[in-house]
Structure 1
């Protein structure tokens, strides 16, 4: 099947392509909003995940930031070097590493929340509240359909 046949059917653009374009632009806008905070969108996702669970595993952090576990290890080293997190062994379980936000990390995470909310408001500005809720529901259903094995 040719690319033009794949991307247009019955006069409509391929939804997956439209979704990728929206995701790409969302990421670009978020990176621009985060520019003044000193963290990237992926680092912001990690800081937010840590703020919710200091015992979160590296694998879970990697999933939250959409990176590989190997990349996550490097990101944690960078975040620790930059003074945004501290990593210490759990007092009762030596194999568990506790990752906590420093004061600077908490401030960056809070700035990240503001940036994310700003970009999301911009992205949804052309939709009614009902349309925005419906979009969220439909995207979750699409993600679930792709996650299940058939």
Structure 2
């Protein structure tokens, strides 16, 4: 039996479990920050991704929001219905649907970026700048190590 602990305060805690706890608490904090915007954390990720690239594919949006392509389709329908995005056929490629932010969507994306910054700032408040940079580098390396071929 492993000597590792499910207690994040333990020096022997599973790193993966600690990451999951941090991710869960960060999402809770972000959801609280987003409460007045009318969008969820996943919807916020979609709006930010569309703002960065209006020609982004649905598959790329799904990856950005950590949802399945099927779930993304439902999310886009909801965002369009609620006036955050407009979807139109590409003028040259009939199968491609372009997605753009409306004024309401741009405002929500801006508020969402501020909310994400606030949640991240709270998460990192006890770290030095060097520790933040080291954490970012180590997490990027861990993600790369687990990336599927």
Determine whether 1:33 maps to 2:65: no
2-side partners of 1:102 and 1:110: how far apart? 12
Query: 1:134 maps to which residue?
Result: 134
2:98 aligns to what? 98
Deviation at 1:11, TM superposition (A): 4.5
Contact 1:54 1:100 in 2 (8 A): yes
Provide TM-score, normalisation by structure 1: 0.93
Deviations 1:61-107 (A, max 9, x none): 00000000000000000000000000000001111100000000000
Where does structure 1 differ by over 6 angstroms across 4 or more consecutive aligned residues? none
Please say if residues 7 and 17 of structure 1, whose CA atoms lie closer than 8 Å, have aligned partners that are also in contact. no
| Cα-to-partner distance string for 1:93-124 (whole Å, 9 max, x where unaligned) | 11110000000000000000000000111000
| Aligned counterparts, 1:15-26, within 5 A | 15-26=15-26
Cross-structure match for 2:49 = 49
Aligned length, in residue pairs? 146
Task: Give the unaligned 5+ runs of structure 2.
Answer: none
Counterparts of 1:53-68 in structure 2, within 5 Å, are 53-68=53-68
Structure 1: 5+ residue runs without aligned partners?
A: none
Taking only aligned residues, the RMSD between alpha carbons, in angstroms, comes to 1.4
TM-score w.r.t. structure 2 length?
0.94
Distance 2:47 2:33 in 1: 16
